[in-house]
Amino acid sequence: KKTLHDLDLKGKKVFCRVDFNVPMKNGEVRDDTRIKAALPTINYLVEQGAIVILASHLGRPKGEVVEELRLDPIANRLSDLIGKEVVKTDAVYGSEVNEAVSNITDGDILLIENVRFEAGEEKNDAQLAQSFADMADVYVNDAFGAAHRAHASTTGVAEKLPAAAGFLMEKEINVLGKALADPERPFTAIIGGAKVKDKINVIDNLLDKVDNLIIGGGLAYTFIKAKGYEIGNSLLEEDKIDLAKEFMQKAQEKGVNLVLPVDAIVADDFSETANTKIVDIEEIPADWEALDIGPKTRDKFTQIIEASKLIIWNGPMGVFEYNAFAGGTKAVAEALANTNGYTVIGGGDSAAAVEKFGFAEEMDHVSTGGGASLEFMEGKVLPGVQALNDK
């Protein structure tokens, strides 16, 4: 696979796919982590004298123009971060874009409109991919966060131009790839989140690799139920109880220490102001639901994290959006911040949590991918990465 350093970029038009799908609020960028993460690549392209054509999606406009999903606020934020004008077009391709491209010169930056305004983007339409290719001499993909999508701007265009991974893409693949292929041990994975359904493949794959598999969050209660305990009103996926049993069996066969919560904070209602109490896991009362891990569980998870050389984390331990149930997720984030082991945070909610609690700087790697890092940890080859590998 080629890297940016392999390409001659001076005076070349570079179509660079980035993931600027950032959280917005009132027409402003609320969190610019993903924009900042793309700066090393963008700066390098500028320094090398490339004509930089950036492309991204924002949200899910499904092939239609949605005014709130235009990329103008993102162009402005990028311009502020980079200290340089960023030309923004209102079209994704066509005469307006061609003219804008012909009006800029070496080291200039242009951002085309939200690629998902075109229905062909998500269909990986060959004509749209050709329109992207026609704009440029070279394709660079730095959108790790969108690498699990086989779309016109992530895979289609890669087939039509000399192509390389950007620095962010390279770093994400190297860090996550090494963690899974050649882990330092003890290797611990922490899996949280609401549903077993969303984590089946990642749990299955990690059971072949880790020494400890910690399960917290809503999905833990299907496992607790599978062990034969009553879980009150806690989240339960009835149809996944057998699967949970299989996972526990597989852990035993593989010599993996599968760790479940030993206590919980239970509430009499799913709300910030519910009555709460701490109970041992085998004593969850009927009509109460577990919304966070309890203090004994926090200590237990922390000890395992402290004794690990490599820890990857995906998914919160409780309903951390509510302060009353944020303590478990915070305790795990804190343990990761304090450990000497190498810490990898899968994107999405876990990345949001370390950011919220102020520990992002203490982590060794916070992935910019949500779905992409999850699918990577499932052992899948991401189509956006595959398209670069095929070159």
Does the annotation mark 298 as catalytic? no
Phi, psi of 183 (to 5 degrees): -75, 145
- Point out the catalytic residue in the list 12, 13, 34, 240: 34
DSSP string, 49-93: T-EEEEE---S--TTS--GGG-SHHHHHHHHHHHTS-EEE-SSSS
Q: Choose between 19 and 113: whose C-beta lies nearer to ligand 3PG.
A: 19
Which residue in 13, 77, 149, 209 binds ligand 3PG (CB under 6 A)? Answer: 149
Catalogue the E-assigned strands of 31-186. 51-55, 86-88, 109-111, 138-141, 163-165
Contact 147, 385 (CB under 8 A): yes
Phi, psi of 29 (to 5 degrees): -70, 120
Which residue in 8, 27, 47, 60 binds ligand 3PG (CB under 6 A)? Answer: 60
Q: Is 199 annotated as a binding residue?
A: yes
Determine the residue with CB nearest ligand 3PG: 21
Stretch that binds ligand 3PG, among 5-13, 141-149, 162-170, 299-307 (CB under 6 A): 141-149
Partners of 258 in beta bridges: 213
- Point out the catalytic residue in the list 348, 369, 370, 384: 348
Tell me whether strands 342-345 and 310-314 are parallel, antiparallel or unpaired.
Answer: parallel
State in angstroms the smallest separation of the CB of 386 from ligand 3PG: 17
Residues 19-48 that bind ligand 3PG (CB under 6 A): 19, 21
- Point out the catalytic residue in the list 195, 296, 356, 391: 195
Q: Is 359 annotated as a binding residue?
A: no
Phi, psi of 129 (to 5 degrees): -60, -40
The one-letter amino acid at 58:
L
Which residue in 49, 162, 186, 371 binds ligand 3PG (CB under 6 A)? Answer: 371
State in angstroms the smallest separation of the CB of 58 from ligand 3PG: 8
- C-alpha–C-alpha distance, residues 374 and 380, integer Å: 9
- Please give the structure tokens belonging to residue 102: 């012909």
Tell me whether strands 187-191 and 310-314 are parallel, antiparallel or unpaired.
Answer: parallel
Q: Choose between 318 and 370: whose C-beta lies nearer to ligand 3PG.
A: 370
The one-letter amino acid at 238:
E
Residue 186: asked if its preceding bond is cis (omega within 30°), the reply is yes
Does the annotation mark 348 as catalytic? yes
Regarding 73 and contact with ligand 3PG (CB under 6 A), the answer is no
Stretch that binds ligand 3PG, among 142-150, 157-165, 200-208, 252-260 (CB under 6 A): 142-150
- C-alpha–C-alpha distance, residues 256 and 350, integer Å: 23
Q: Is 348 annotated as a binding residue?
A: yes
| 72: CB partners within 8 A, 6+ apart | 88
Which residue in 42, 146, 169, 312 binds ligand 3PG (CB under 6 A)? Answer: 146
Contact 318, 217 (CB under 8 A): yes
Does the annotation mark 225 as catalytic? no
Residue written as token pair 């520990």: 359
- C-alpha–C-alpha distance, residues 326 and 293, integer Å: 9
Does the annotation mark 34 as catalytic? yes
State in angstroms the smallest separation of the CB of 179 from ligand 3PG: 19
By CB under 6 A, the count of residues binding ligand 3PG is 8
* CA 211 and chain centroid, separation: 23
Query: Which residue ranges are tagged as binding site for ATP?
Result: 199, 321, 347-350
Residues engaged in binding ligand 3PG (CB under 6 A): 19, 21, 60, 145-146, 149, 370-371
Query: Which residue ranges are tagged as binding site for substrate?
Result: 19-21, 34, 57-60, 116, 149
Query: Which residue ranges are tagged as binding site?
Result: 19-21, 34, 57-60, 116, 149, 199, 321, 347-350
Q: Report, as residue numbers or ranges, the catalytic residues.
A: 34, 195, 348, 371
